[in-house]
Amino acid sequence: MKECGDKVFVGRQPIYRDGVDVFGYELLSRDSELNRAAFADGDKATAQLLLNTFLDIGLDQVVGPHLAFVNVTRNFLFSEYCESLPKGRVVLELAGDTDADTALLDRVSKLAQSGYCVALDNFVYNEQLRPLVAISDIVKLNIHALDRDSVTQQARALREYEVKLLAQKVETHEDYQFCKQLGFDYYQGYFFCKPQVVSETKIPFNRLSTLHLLAKLQDPRIKIDELEHAVGQDLAVSYRILRYLNSPMLAMPRKIDSLRHAITLVGTRLICNWASLILLEAIEDKPRELMTTTMVRAHMCQQLGTAMHQGNIDQFFTVGLFSLIDALLDRTMADTLNALPLVDDVKNALLHRQGPMGKALDCVEAYERCDWENTACDNLDEKNIREAFLSSVAYARKVAGEVVT
CATH number assigned to the domain comprising residue 32: 3.20.20.450
Q: How many domains does the chain have?
A: 2
- Helix, strand, coil: what percent of the chain each, to 5? 55, 15, 35
Q: Has residue 243 got a pLDDT over 90?
A: no
- pLDDT confidence of 65, banded at 50, 70, 90? confident
The candidate with the shortest Cα–Cα distance to 240, out of 261, 262, 264, is: 262
Between CA 98 and CA 219 the distance in angstroms is: 36
Considering the domain architecture, whether residues 258 and 273 belong to the same structural domain is answered as: yes
Between CA 223 and CA 230 the distance in angstroms is: 11
Considering the domain architecture, whether residues 348 and 213 belong to the same structural domain is answered as: yes
| CA angle 346–351–352, rounded 5-degree value | 100
The candidate with the shortest Cα–Cα distance to 345, out of 309, 318, 363, is: 318
For position 272, what pLDDT does the model report? 62
For position 161, what pLDDT does the model report? 92
For position 206, what pLDDT does the model report? 59
Between CA 341 and CA 357 the distance in angstroms is: 17
For position 195, what pLDDT does the model report? 59
CB 4 within 8 A of CB 35: no
Q: Among residues 177, 200, 223, which one ends one of the domains?
A: 200
The candidate with the shortest Cα–Cα distance to 274, out of 94, 90, 85, is: 85
- pLDDT confidence of 113, banded at 50, 70, 90? very high
For position 34, what pLDDT does the model report? 41
CB 166 within 8 A of CB 186: yes
For position 2, what pLDDT does the model report? 32
Considering the domain architecture, whether residues 196 and 230 belong to the same structural domain is answered as: no
Q: Has residue 8 got a pLDDT over 80?
A: no
For position 110, what pLDDT does the model report? 94
What residues have CB less than 8 Å from 345, skipping those under 6 apart?
257, 312, 315, 354, 355, 357
The mean per-residue pLDDT over the stretch 114-127 comes to 91
- Any idea what the CATH number is for the domain that residue 294 is in? 1.10.3210.10
pLDDT in tens, 131-177: 999 999 999 999 989 899 999 999 999 999 999 999 998 888 888 88
pLDDT in tens, 277-311: 565 454 344 445 566 777 889 889 999 999 999 98
The mean per-residue pLDDT over the stretch 370-378 comes to 84
The mean per-residue pLDDT over the stretch 80-106 comes to 87
For position 4, what pLDDT does the model report? 44
Do the strands 22-29 and 7-16 form a parallel or antiparallel pair, or are they unpaired?
antiparallel
For position 284, what pLDDT does the model report? 45
For position 108, what pLDDT does the model report? 94
For position 36, what pLDDT does the model report? 43
Sign for the CA dihedral angle at 62, 66, 163, 76 comes to positive
- pLDDT confidence of 106, banded at 50, 70, 90? very high
pLDDT in tens, 178-230: 999 999 999 988 776 655 565 666 665 555 566 566 556 656 677 778 777 77
- Give 197's strand partners: 11
Q: Determine what percent of the chain is predicted with pLDDT higher than 70.
A: 72
Considering the domain architecture, whether residues 23 and 100 belong to the same structural domain is answered as: yes
Considering the domain architecture, whether residues 183 and 221 belong to the same structural domain is answered as: no
Considering the domain architecture, whether residues 34 and 140 belong to the same structural domain is answered as: yes
For position 37, what pLDDT does the model report? 42
Q: What is the dihedral of CA 246, 249, 255, 261, to 10 degrees?
A: -80
Q: Is 21 left (phi over 0), alpha (psi -120 to 50) or beta?
A: beta
For position 136, what pLDDT does the model report? 94
Considering the domain architecture, whether residues 17 and 117 belong to the same structural domain is answered as: yes
Q: Among residues 200, 227, 242, which one ends one of the domains?
A: 200
Considering the domain architecture, whether residues 156 and 219 belong to the same structural domain is answered as: no
**The one-letter amino acid at 362:** D
Considering the domain architecture, whether residues 88 and 186 belong to the same structural domain is answered as: yes
CB 166 within 8 A of CB 121: no
The mean of the pLDDT values for the chain is 78
Q: How far is CA 47 from the centre of its chain?
A: 9
Domain span at 18: 4-200
For position 210, what pLDDT does the model report? 63
Considering the domain architecture, whether residues 102 and 229 belong to the same structural domain is answered as: no
Considering the domain architecture, whether residues 238 and 111 belong to the same structural domain is answered as: no
Alpha helices of 218-312 — where are they, by DSSP H?
Answer: 224-232, 235-245, 259-266, 268-281, 288-307
Considering the domain architecture, whether residues 150 and 239 belong to the same structural domain is answered as: no
Q: Has residue 16 got a pLDDT over 70?
A: yes
CB 349 within 8 A of CB 258: no
Between CA 92 and CA 151 the distance in angstroms is: 23
State how far the alpha carbon of 189 is from the alpha carbons of 61, 347, 401, in Å. Answer: 22, 44, 52
- pLDDT confidence of 352, banded at 50, 70, 90? very high
